[in-house]
Homo-oligomer: A and B are copies of this chain.
Amino acid sequence: MIESITPALGKEKGTPLYTQLYRYIREAIEAGKLPSGSKLPAIRALSQHLGISKNTVEAAYGQLVAEGYVESKERGGYLIQPLDELWNPLPVQYVEMNNKCGEASEVMNSINRKDRRESSFLPYEFRYGDIAFDRFPYDIWKSCLTQSVNDAAAAAPYGILGYGDRLGHLGLREELCDYVYQSRGAVCSPDQIFIGAGTQYTVSLLLQTLGLRQAEFAMEEPGYNGVRSVLAGLDCRITSIPIEADGIHVTALEQSTAKVAYVTPSHQFPLGMVMSIEKRQRLLKWASASDALILEDDYDSEFRYGSRPVPSLKALDYDDRVIYLGTLSKSFLPGARLSYVIVPRRLVPVMTERMANYSCSVSPMIQQAVWLFIKQGHYGRHIRRMRRVYQARYRALTDAVSSTMGERVRIVGDSSGMHILLRVPGRDAMELVALAEQAGCLVYPAAKHWSNPDAEAREFVMLGFGGMQEDMLREGVRKLSMAWFAR
């Protein structure tokens, strides 16, 4: 087997070695040269065989695991998975989500000041935040939840009905460590993690426990309004740093006096690009040189449909500067309200000491159930399945947009995540959103993610596609196209 993995590494300049290795193995699997059911060579053996570091092999394997080509087994083996891995979808039920106070009503309120309680269900809701509820394994999750309450009744160790561990369920933190290592290449231990009720709260708690409120923050422009609101609500000083084609404008950041930079390197929110490896390295250098911290929000990195793997910044964080923000809202369920933070090793003592004054914000019952879900292997399987589901939805959406709207719009995004932006030159998003609503479609103006929306910002419309089946996406795009351009 090991002989069949002999790529000409170093051929592609500018592409990291691990990416080249990952691609080589992936193609070999896809071509059937590495048959499913067999094991990949041990990391040490392959690193010696190829004369590269173990880290490189590990990173390549991690990416293959993250994308579902390979499953990592206890005791270290990496098993190649069947390509058309069969699974039994649940009866496809269109789950009618009428999330009254989600983005939906917010937008609608701002447009026509409707009473919140009157905001009605639209047939085509491109709601950002929805996931593929129609493919969610309800029965498994229900049994995890029931199991969790049973565990509580039967003298479980961590007080599932009580406040629970202040940092979060220890078993769950252990699983999360494994997970970020396997899928994101980041090495951490459970004492570096705390669990909290959503990214907004974990960020707010971070500021409290690390005493960061007084620091100067850099935010991407445009950047995630959810985090900007938290910083603004706590009277933090915020500097906006523009976004370039390959991510945050690091030179502008270097010229600022910011001490904490919030970034979305795997999938810039909302524009969608991946931060280039050069920028990642410059960003890390900036942090070291300025004695600064980086808040890496890795919210939907699980879902990439193109070929390029994206390492996390945390995986490259040799100088211990990156605070990693993870969430289960995309990869599992927004309704779990469970996210987590990995703090740099040197900040563990102060974080732990201060956290002794805060109780955990996520129900230990939910944490126990999620822990069971992960530990029993459902989480990994679920992500692999969902990647294919979202990939199909992404393609259906972008194909439909291209074929019905053609040159009149530009699709902004990078084959990943659960949303795209449409840029409609010369049109105002507020008007487009209102026209869409009349045609039964919920879409969003993206401008709220700019701290200072300029004319360009107002040309962007945001569409979430995670919660819509392909037919609905195609039909919805047809409606949008008629509403926007058929006059």
Contact = CB atoms under 8 A, between A and B. Distances in A.
A248 to B, nearest CB: 22
Contacts of A410: none
Nearest to A121: B157
A229 B357 contact: yes
Given A145-B146, A360-B337, A361-B198, A99 B158 contact: yes
Contacts of A159: 97-99, 102, 335
A155 B96 contact: yes
Contacts of A155: 93-96
Given A138-B153, A234-B234, A163 B129 contact: yes
A320 interface: no
A214 B235 contact: yes
Contact of A138 (B152, B163, B204): B152
Interface string A154-171: 010111111111110010
Interface stretch (A45-53, A274-282, A362-370, A450-458): A362-370
Contacts of A162: 97, 99, 102, 129-131, 133, 334-335
Interface string A85-124: 0000000011111111110001001000000010000000
A337 B364 CA distance: 8
Contacts of A157: 98
A213 B161 CA distance: 32
A251 interface: no
Contact of A161 (B109, B152, B160, B334): B334
A225 to B, nearest CB: 7
B204 A164 contact: no
Contacts of A337: 163, 197, 359-364
A226 to B, nearest CB: 7
Interface in A178-229: 197-198, 200-201, 204, 207-209, 211, 213-214, 225-226, 229
Nearest to A335: B161
A28 interface: no
Number of copies: 2
Task: Name A's interface SS.
Answer: loop
Contacts of A363: 197, 335-338, 362-363, 366
Given A93-B153, A363-B337, A101 B167 contact: yes
Contacts of A365: 145, 335-336, 366
A354 interface: yes
Interface string A292-303: 000000000000
Contact of A213 (B100, B153, B235): B235
A149 B141 contact: yes
B234 A208 contact: yes
Nearest to A142: B149
A136 interface: yes
Contacts of A96: 155
A252 interface: no
A200 B146 CA distance: 28
26 contacts: A95-B161, A96-B155, A98-B157, A99-B159, A99-B164, A100-B158, A100-B165, A102-B163, A129-B162, A133-B162, A138-B149, A138-B153, A142-B146, A142-B149, A145-B365, A197-B197, A197-B337, A197-B361, A204-B204, A207-B234, A233-B357, A234-B234, A335-B363, A337-B360, A337-B363, A361-B361
